[in-house]
Amino acid sequence: MGIEIERKFLVTSDAWRAAALKVVPMAQGYLNDLAAMDTGAMKASVRVRIAGEDAFLNLKSRELGHTRQEFDYPIPERDARDLLALCVGGLVDKRRHYVEHAGFVWEVDEFLGDNAGLVVAEVELPSADAAFDKPAWAGREVTESARYYNLALATRPFSQWSQAERDGEG
């Protein structure tokens, strides 16, 4: 069983760009929707992702917070494209930038399309209590806020958020 331990932060400036090691375009969609998760009808999200020239089927447990079960399986790109056509909600398009900072590689997701304007940074940790140095460009932590999860962004994109939601209220 795979365990993902990650913390998620809003990005407050472009200062990370100079340190980016690489960028990978990503398109992803979900075979289940947020309602199935919220009602408990499903206990895991089922995601299809094309990342650059690679494609994956991913299952992630429903828990809110920094620790979840995660299973990631490579699949043929053609299969991924066919599965993306079956996804519910919208597709999430983004550019993932890999940025080294203080011994960790941060993933900075710059969202496109209906989620344009949202930039979120995540850091995967070896344990839930691992210490890490938060970069100056990483602002408010949103790990516990479900609306920043990609499944939620596929269902209700950033472009549909109120100004209060964009400001971290509500």
| CA–CA dist 10, 165 (Å, integer) | 13
Which active-site residues does the annotation give?
Answer: 30
Number of Cβ within a 10 Å radius of residue 18:
7
CA separation for the pair 109, 95 (Å, rounded):
6
Report d(CA 83, CA 117) in Å as an integer. 27
Q: What is the DSSP letter of 53?
A: T
Determine whether 41 is exposed, middle or buried from the number of CB atoms within 10 Å of its CB (0-12, 13-18, 19+).
exposed
